[in-house]
Structure 1
Amino acid sequence: MANTWFESVAEAHRRAKRRLPKSVYGALVAGSEQGMTLRDNIDAYNEIGFAPHIGDLPDERDLATTVMGQDVSMPVLISPTGVQAVHPDGELAVARASAARGVAMGLSSFGSRPIEDVVAANPQTFFQTYWVGDRDAIAGRMARAKQAGAKGMIVTLDWTFSEGRDWGSPTIPERLDLKTMAQFAPQGITHPRWLLRYLRAGHLPNLKTPNVDADPDPAAAPTFFGAYGEWMQTKQPRWADIAWMREQWDGPFMVKGVMRIDDAKRAVDAGATTISVSNHGGNNMDGTPATLRALPGIAEAVGDDVEVVLDGGVRRGSDVVKALCLGARAVMIGRAYLWGLAAEGQAGVENVLDILRNDIDSNLLGLRRASVRDLTRDDIIVPPSFGEKLSSRTTGPAESVRA
C-alpha cells in the first residue's frame, strides 16, 4: 500500500500539482496579473529571523488559544475558499479534518457544500459572505447561517474583480454538461486518480453554490458564475452597510481584507470583533505588499480593540510563529490545506495541520516560550526596512460609519 503521509506542505503542493487537471490546479494557485503579491506573501517570511535560546527551555508547550469566541487547539484557522473541486468530499473533508484537530473552519458562501452539512461535521464553523444582492438577500443568508449553527460571521471586502494573469487564467466551466465533459475529458484522462475519486464518489465536481441563497434547497442553488455575476452587479458596500451587517449578527464578526490602518479603524468603528489582514492570497490588486508587512502597524493601531488575524502565504509553523510575534492572534490558511485535500483528502488536510502544529511546538521550544500567548517581537529579528505602515489616517468620524 502506498504511503500517503507527507512531511511538508511543499510535498503536499507537489502531489497536488501531479494529481490535479491543469485547469483545476491553475484555479488553485493563481494570483492576479504578474503575481507580485502572491510571491511577496511567501517571501516576506524569509526576511524575518529568530532569536533562539539554548537553556531553561520549557518541557511542555501550550499551543491553544481563543479566536472569535472559540477555543482552538492552535492558532491556525481554516480560511474560507470557494468551490473546492480538488476532491469529491470538498468542504466536508476539510470540516472533518479540522474538527479532528481542534481547529475552527471558515466556510465560503461560494463553497460547494451546504452550511448545514459543514456545521454538522465541524460545529466550530464561521460563515463567510460577500456583499451580494440587496439587504433582504444578505439578511436572509446570514439568518440561515445563524439557524445552521455558525459560530461567527466573516465578511470579505478585498476584491476588485481584476482579470488577466500573465501565465493565463484557468478555464472554469459554467456547468458540467455533455459538451463540457467532452472538452475537459483529456485533462481527466491524463489525471486518472483525480477522475477515479469522483467516479467512486458517484458524482461529478459540484459547480453550484448552495450557500448563497437563504433557501437551503440545493436544487435552487445558483452556479458559481451565476453567483459571481450577481456579485459583480451588486453596488459596492459602504462602511454603513458593514455596520448594518454587524447589527444583524449578534455573534463574533470578522472583517476580512484589511491592509491599511485607516481601514482597520473603520472596521472597528463598524463593530468588527476581529479583522483579518489579507490581500485575498495575492488574487486581488497585484502590487499590494505581503500581509506580513502590513500586520505590525495594524496590530499596533487596533490590537487592543479587536482580535487581529492574518492570512496569506502561510506554509510552515515558523510562519505562524512569526505572525504571532508581529501581533496576530492566529493565522488563516488557504492553499496549504487545499493542497493537502488534493493530495490525500481528509487525511491530507489532517497531515497539513499536524505539520503546522509540530512546527509551532518546535519553534516555541527554541524560543523558550511555554505558550503561543507568550510570543513577542523580542523573539524575532526584523530588518529596519521590513514593512510599511499603510496609512494611519482616518477617513471620517466614527459616527459616519453608522449613517
Structure 2
Amino acid sequence: MRRNPWFETVAEARRRAEKRLPGMVYGALVAGSERGRTIDDNLKGFADLGFAPRVAGHHAERDLSTTVMGVKTSMPVLISPTGVQAVDPDGEVAVARAAAGRGVIMGLSSFASKPVEEVVAANPDVFFQMYWSGDRDTMARRMERARNAGAKGLIATLDWSFSNGRDWGSPAIPEKVDLRTLLRLAPGVLPRPGWLWRYARTGRVPDLTVPNLRPPGGAAPTFFGAYGEWMRTQPPTWEDVAWLRDEWGSGPFMLKGVTRVDDAKRAVDAGVTALSVSNHGGNNLDTTPATIRVLPSIAEAVGGQIEVLLDGGVRRGGDVAKALALGARAVLIGRAYLWGLAANGQAGVENVLDILRGGLDSAVLGLGRSSVHDLCPDDLVIPPGFRLTLGGGAGPPGRGSAPGGGADAPES
C-alpha cells in the first residue's frame, strides 16, 4: 500500500527526509556547531513558553497577513535563505514556487544552487541574501545582479560562522560530484533509491556550484570555493554594514544575526530596514542562547524604529504566534521547509507552510485575537528567568542587565 505523500507535522517531514536522503545529505540539514546546545535551546525556548487561551469571545474570521519591509505576505512566515539545496533536483526553484503558491516571501542565499534570475521568475517576492565575502567591487556586482533580476530586498548575514567544529563530526560533503565521486559515495547513496531516482529522472547529478557568485566571464565556484573566499575576507565593521546598506540603495535591507541589544542599536544607526534575531540555527557559536529568549529585549529597544524578525527553532504555527507575541514582525524558517522539500519536493514545502498556517490560525483563534498584529505578551505564560538581555541593554523596570551585558535577573 502506497504511503500518503501528505504529512501532518514538521516532525513527520523530518522523519521522511531522514529515510529518503543519504546520510551525508541529511546530516548537513540537522548539523549544528560543536555540541549542538544552541539548536537544543532554540527548540526548548519555544517549549518553555505557554499559552493563556480565552474561553469565549473568539473571532470567526482571523487575519494572518502582514508586510515585511513593505512586501505583502499571506502570513508572517518567510523562507530563510539556505545554501546549496541538493535535497531535490529543483532545489530553490521548487521552494520558490511553493512559497509563491502560498503567498509568502522567499529568501534566496547567495550560496544557492539556482541562479537568482530563475528563482525570481518562480516567485517575484524574493529577498536576496549576501555574506561579507570578497572585495567591495565584487559585492557591489553581486548586489547589482540581484537588483537587476528583480530582488525586492537584501539580507546581509553576518552571523556565520565563527565555529566550524562538531563533536559528532561534520558530514562528508564532496567538493564536486563527478563519476569518481559517485563511485566513492555509492555505498551511502544506493540505500536511498528514492533520492537517487529523483536525480536520475532529470539526467542530472547534484550540482554543488554556486551560480550567484559566478564572476563575469568565469565559472561558478564550488560551495567550498565560495566558503574559502568568505574565510579569506577581512571581517566587516559597522562602517562596512553602512556601506552595504548604501550600496543596495533605497530598497529594503535586513541585517541577519543579531542577538545583542547594543548590536541592534548599531544596526539602526547603520540604516537597516529590519533585523533578524538569529544565531544561524545553531551553526554559529555553540551555547549562544535561544533567539526567542533574547527577542523581547531587542524588540523593546528598537522595535519602534525598525522591523524585528526572528529565526531559529520554529517548527509549529504556535511557535510563530509566540514569537509575534514577544515582538517579532515575522519569522524565518530553514530546516522545516528543507525537510519538506526532501520529503516531497515542492508539494512538501507547501505542506510545511500549510502546517504552520494551520497552527498559527489555531493559536490566534484560541487566544481570542482577530489578527496576528493583536498578539502580545499577555497571551503567553512566561516562566521566571526566561528572558535574556545580551549586550548591556536596559530591560523593563526592575530587570537590569548583568555587568558586561549578561542575562536579566530572574523575573518575579
Q: CA deviation at 1:213?
A: 3.5
- For 1:368, the equivalent position in structure 2 comes to 368
TM-score (norm 1): 0.96
Backbone CA RMSD of aligned residues: 1.3
Are 2:15 and 1:11 aligned? Answer: no
- For 2:32, the equivalent position in structure 1 comes to 31
Asked if structure 2 preserves the Cα contact closer than 8 Å seen for 1:144 and 1:214, the reply is no
Secondary structure of the corresponding residue to residue 211 of structure 1: helix
Secondary structure of the corresponding residue to residue 154 of structure 1: strand
Structure 1 gap ranges (5+):
396-403
- Residues of 2 paired with 1:61 and 1:16: CA distance? 33
> Any residues of structure 2 matched to 1:350-369 within 5 Å, and which?
350-369=350-369
Equivalent position amino acid for 1:81 in 2: T
- For 1:66, the equivalent position in structure 2 comes to 67
- Residues of 1 paired with 2:215 and 2:259: CA distance? 31
- For 2:410, the equivalent position in structure 1 comes to none
- For 1:239, the equivalent position in structure 2 comes to 238
- For 2:175, the equivalent position in structure 1 comes to 174
Are 2:160 and 1:150 aligned? Answer: no
- For 1:40, the equivalent position in structure 2 comes to 41
* Cα displacement string for residues 254-295 of structure 1 (whole angstroms, at most 9, x for unaligned residues): 000000000001111111100000000001100100000010
- Residues of 2 paired with 1:116 and 1:214: CA distance? 15
Secondary structure of the corresponding residue to residue 220 of structure 1: coil
- Residues of 2 paired with 1:62 and 1:130: CA distance? 35
Q: CA deviation at 1:28?
A: 0.7
- For 1:297, the equivalent position in structure 2 comes to 297
Equivalent position amino acid for 2:356 in 1: L
Corresponding pairs, count: 393
Are 2:347 and 1:347 aligned? Answer: yes
Q: CA deviation at 1:393?
A: 5.3
Q: CA deviation at 1:56?
A: 1.2
> Any residues of structure 2 matched to 1:144-223 within 5 Å, and which?
144-213=145-214, 215=216, 220-223=219-222
- For 1:400, the equivalent position in structure 2 comes to none
Q: CA deviation at 1:69?
A: 1.3
- For 1:399, the equivalent position in structure 2 comes to none
Asked if structure 2 preserves the Cα contact closer than 8 Å seen for 1:158 and 1:284, the reply is yes
Are 2:226 and 1:227 aligned? Answer: yes
Equivalent position amino acid for 1:353 in 2: L
Q: CA deviation at 1:161?
A: 4.0
- For 1:101, the equivalent position in structure 2 comes to 102
Secondary structure of the corresponding residue to residue 314 of structure 1: coil
Secondary structure of the corresponding residue to residue 276 of structure 1: strand
Asked if structure 1 preserves the Cα contact closer than 8 Å seen for 2:301 and 2:393, the reply is no
Equivalent position amino acid for 1:354 in 2: D
Q: CA deviation at 1:214?
A: 5.4
Equivalent position amino acid for 1:89 in 2: D
Asked if structure 2 preserves the Cα contact closer than 8 Å seen for 1:161 and 1:232, the reply is no
- Residues of 2 paired with 1:298 and 1:16: CA distance? 35
Asked if structure 2 preserves the Cα contact closer than 8 Å seen for 1:143 and 1:214, the reply is no
Cα distance change of structure 1 residues 200 and 219 upon mapping to structure 2, 3 Å threshold: farther
Q: CA deviation at 1:160?
A: 3.3
Equivalent position amino acid for 2:387 in 1: G
Asked if structure 1 preserves the Cα contact closer than 8 Å seen for 2:162 and 2:285, the reply is no
- Residues of 2 paired with 1:322 and 1:379: CA distance? 8
- For 2:84, the equivalent position in structure 1 comes to 83
- Residues of 1 paired with 2:299 and 2:56: CA distance? 31
**Greater mean alpha carbon deviation, residues 136-145 or residues 170-179:** 170-179
Percent identical among aligned pairs is 66
TM-score (norm 2): 0.94
Structure 2 gap ranges (5+):
395-403, 405-412
In the TM superposition, structure 1's runs of 4+ consecutive aligned residues that sit over 6 Å from their partners are none
